[in-house]
Structure formats: structure tokens, C-alpha cells
Structure 1
Amino acid sequence: MNVKLTPVIVKKFIPSRRPDSRKGQNGKVAVIGGSYMYHGAPTLSSIAALRSGVDLVYTYVPNVIVSSVRAISPNLIVVPMVDSKLTRGSANKMLGQIPEGLDSATIGMGLAVADDEGLKALVKSLLSQDVRLSLDASALTRSILPLIPNANVVLTPHAGEFQRLFGILPSNSIKQRVSVVEKFAKEHSVTILLKGSTDVISNGAKTFINPKNLAAMTVGGTGDVLSGVVAGILARNRNPLESAAAASYVNGIAGKMAQKKVGLHMVATDLIDAIPAAMKPFDRVA
């Protein structure tokens, strides 16, 4: 049985904020991505994570694009990766720079992976430090599946990435999409957020659906924004299923707002601009 997401459900999944909280207590997030071609993807994820309500975002990108990313926003803490692609060496160097008390990380947006061993080392080490993970794009490889059962991990594939991971291409049928997501989420003991006109989110035991049907959301970068929101909510809510469901819903509401404002001419930054208004009904100070 699947449950359609509603504001009442989502409000339970987004934690309140203490009025006397200090910087860092509302979430520290790492975004690991980017390559020579793709400086925008990790930047979009990073700003989306900030807009979701976390206090600090550390953006790890290859040295070749550090200046470009820093120029886009002064709100980001940009950390150079030593290689132009993710290698075992650059992963180990990066792990030595991870700040204390990191809550969550999202990995893969625009990331050039030279060596799966580097990716595996990164995932394994972060999980051992109790960092919750959102994996997208280049981080969605079969090699990471043995590392993530029963861990605080969300996979965020679109249909093609889902096929790369599990060998089955989801159809447009909601019933079939729910079936395959539940099957593989249960088989691998992980939370899966299958992106599409209707998002399907499942941990194999419980499933949520989020119909969006937004023609403008096909523009590049909207998935990167979603990854940032997943990591942002995951930094404050330790439950991967609840965090993924809430992020899907917020991303969809922001999409509706952006599409209403600019029509079919939306870009990913329009989506980010709408996140605060999309999350406002769920803001609580307690």
C-alpha cells in the first residue's frame, strides 16, 4: 500500500527549530560533486541545502572549478579537491578535511569518478562517522550497494539511473514504478526516491507517492536541487524515508510555485528561489 503525501504528513517529517539554537545546531551538510564540465550541479545542491534550513554547507569540488563556484555565492564554504576527478587519493584527502559533527552529505552531482574505489572509500568512511547520505548521479553505481544496507542512506535515481543500479527500467505506470521501487528498496535495505512526474519513495516496508506532473521540471539542475533538499532535511531528521518524502514534497511545491511564476521557462535557480515559500508552512520554532 502506498500513501500520497500531504502537508499534514510532511509537517511531521520536518523538525522544529529551537529559539536558542546556535550556528551548526540546525545542520551541517557536505556536498561532494562537480567536474571540469559541471560546476553548476554541486552549487545548486549546496544553495538548496542552505535554503532548506541548515546552518552550514561545505562544498567539495575539484580545484579546477573552485573559483567559479565561489564566485556564484558567498554563502558557501568551498573546499578544493586535489584531483580533477574523484580518486582513492582525493577521497582520502577529502576525508581528512571533513568538519567535526557533520550531519549529512550528498554525493554525485556532476561528479567525475575516476575510480569506484575512491567512491566506496568515501561512502564507507562517512557512514562509519554516522553521517547520513544522499547519493545521486555519478554516485549511483552498483559498487556501493553492498555498503549501504540498513544505513542512513537515500538513493535518488531517475529512471535511467535506476536501470543502471538494478537492471530494470521503470515504466510510466505508477503501479509498476511502485512495485519495482519497493522490491529493490526491500532487497537492499535502503530508501529509494525514484524521480519522475510522480516521485515514488520507499524503504521496502512503507511507500509514499508524490504526484507533481510539472512540465517545466524537466530542465537541467532540478534533480541537483532535490539532492540538496534531501541532504538538508536529512541533517535534521535521522529517518531517511521521512527526509526523502519531505524533500520530494517541498521540491514539488517549489516547482509549482516557480512554474506559476515563469511558466515553462523555469531554470533550476527559480526552483531554489521558491524553496523558502514552499517550506514556510512547515516552519516551527519550539
Structure 2
Amino acid sequence: MPVPKAVFEQIRQIIPPLNGTLRKGQSGRVGVLGGALDYTGAPFFAAISAQRVGVDLSHVICSPTAANAIKSYSPDLIVHPILREETPPEALRGELAALLSRLHVLVIGPGLGREKYMQTFARLALGIAKEQGMFLVLDADGLYVVGGQLDLIRGYRRAVLTPNVVEFERLSEQAGIDPDTPPEERASSVSKVLGGVTILQKGQSDIIATNTEGANSRAAHEASKISPDEALWGQGDILSGSVGAFLAWAKCYESGAFGDSSISVSRMPILAAIGASMVTRTTSRRGFEKEGRGVVTQDMLKEIGGAFAEIFGGETQGGGKL
């Protein structure tokens, strides 16, 4: 399903201009919370993807057991190894709140794992982010955090949930969705149960829905030429980082750093989800065309910039970052 022209133009409006008017940090500051002993690749891929899309700064908030590995992958990332297993959550609250106050969006889940202390810190960070009015992305084990306590996210319309096929089935069950609901309507149904939270249901076609009382926005971004058998492990991390990038730009737009403030904040999550889906799908196609079945996630990272330019062009009429 092609993205409607009006929606496409709105996405373009929340992309920062490249005209010299913005200061450092006004093109987005993204945080990724995840990374424990066995999971260092996912938070790296999410954070570096946000930078490849075009944000100014990416921070990774992780366990000390993951920090050195993540730092070694790229010096471009700012790594905070503050999620120590022995630290009581309330003892970390002040430090974590101060850190999140410097960011525009928080991506929770890549490499989070299900260890009790990491899940506890994720819930703490989620609560702080909501208190601060941040945009949120919940992916992977971040979805596990809220799955058993849907009230943690219910009604918080600055959030985007990015479940894969298995995670979406579990989330649908937790939300009490009738299993006989047509597949193309389930994302919208889950969104409605969660009070208008945006759902980006990953699959052969990404289905994106925001359903609130009296309003039901839905979009489907068709898969590129890559078949499900050719989908890459790690592609979801690129997607979550890309959603984070667009939401960081949305926060900058909301603050008046650029743009004309004509787009409602309530539209930002679905615009970010659609834009990120387009970029990730195109990135996957470009990577596969060059590398074939030998493509790995590292290959895809190199294609993000080109994919972005392929979709949105080189520079916008307003000198945008495209």
C-alpha cells in the first residue's frame, strides 16, 4: 500500500533542515536502554541506526557487563554502564532521571533480556520517561516488560510498540483481542485497547495503527522485494532505532527548534512509525541486492543513508536533512 502523499509530506516536515540554523543536539538525542551480559549487538544496532538515519547523538544505557563490548563496536555512541545488578532501583532514580532529561526519546528493549534486575530498571525508566513527557519505543523484551502490566503503557500516546509476529500474537492475547479478528484489523484493535498507543506490527507487510475513541488511523507499508525467508536477524533493531530517530525529530519539532508547528503532536508516533518502516524496508532491499543471502546486519547499516535519500531525495526544498 503506497503511503498517501499528504502523509509523506508530513513526514518530510518533521525532518530537521540542513540550513545551518540548528545547534548541536537539535537534530535529535536518542537513548537506548538495553544491553546485558549476553546481549550487546541489539542495543548497538538500534543506537547506531538512529545516528545513521540522522540524529545528532545516541546514548546506550546498559549493564556494566555489556558496556565494553558496545563501546568497542563504535566510538560514536555514548555508553552509560549504570544498570548494575546490585543497585536498588530507587538508588538509581535520580541519576537515570537526570540522564533522560537530556534526551528526546527512549528506546526500551533491544538487548534488554529478561533478568529480573534489567526488567526492573526498564520499568523504572519507563515511568520516568512518562513523567518527563518523552516519546517512547518499546521493542523486543521491552514488550515483555509491559505485556504483563498493560497499564504501564495504556493511554500513553507518545509511545510506539514494535512487535514481531510472535510478540504481536502474545500482545494480542494479553490485550484480550478476539482471535477471530481479521489479521488486518488486529493492530488497530490492540491500539484501541491500549488507549491509542501506536502499534507497528512487523511482518511481510508492516501494519501501523493508532486507534483512539472517534479516530482510527491505519497504514500498511508493503514489504520490499525481500521475502520472509530473507529477513535478517537484527532488522528489528534497525527499525526500533529508526523509529527512535523520527520521534526524536518529532520532539525537536514540537519544541519549536524548526518547522511551523502545524502538525499535531498526536500525529507524531504514526508518522515516525511509517517513516521508519519505509527506511528499514528500503535498507533491507539495498543490502540484499548487494550481498545476496550472505547479507548481515552490518551490511545493512551502510545502506541506511542511501535508503533515506532514495525515499526522500537529497535535500528538501527547505534545506531539510534528507
TM-score greater than 0.5 by the shorter chain: yes
Return 5+ residue gaps in structure 2 as ranges: 176-180, 252-267
1:13 maps to 2:18: no
Give 1:117 shift: 4.4
Q: Which has the higher Rg, Structure 1 or Structure 2?
A: 2
Distance in structure 1 (CA, Å) of the matches to 2:275 and 2:86:
32
- Classify the secondary structure of the residue corresponding to 1:212: coil
- Classify the secondary structure of the residue corresponding to 2:187: helix
The partner residue of 1:250 within 259, 279, 282 is 279
The partner residue of 1:210 within 198, 201, 221 is 221
Cα pair 1:86 1:112 within 8 Å, conserved: no
Question: Comparing 208-217 with 188-197, which one deviates more in the overlay?
Answer: 208-217
Alignment of 1:1-286 (within 5 A): 4-5=2-3, 9-14=7-12, 15-18=14-17, 19=19, 20-84=21-85, 88=89, 92=93, 95-113=96-114, 114-115=116-117, 116-141=119-144, 142-148=147-153, 149-167=155-173, 176-188=182-194, 189-204=196-211, 205-212=216-223, 214-215=226-227, 217-238=230-251, 239-280=268-309, 281-282=311-312, 283-284=315-316, 285=319
Deviations 1:196-237 (A, max 9, x none): 111100012111111115236522111011100000011112
Give 1:144 shift: 4.7
Distance in structure 1 (CA, Å) of the matches to 2:34 and 2:246:
19
1:206 alignment partner AA: S
Equivalent in the alignment of 2:259: none
Please report the RMSD computed on the Cα atoms of aligned residues, expressed in angstroms: 2.5
Return 5+ residue gaps in structure 1 as ranges: 170-174
- Classify the secondary structure of the residue corresponding to 1:157: coil
Distance in structure 2 (CA, Å) of the matches to 1:93 and 1:82:
13
Distance in structure 2 (CA, Å) of the matches to 1:130 and 1:74:
29
Cα pair 1:53 1:232 within 8 Å, conserved: yes
Deviations 1:150-189 (A, max 9, x none): 42000000111112222189xxxxx933211111111212
**Normalised by the size of structure 1, how large is the TM-score?**
0.89
- Classify the secondary structure of the residue corresponding to 2:221: strand
Equivalent in the alignment of 2:258: none
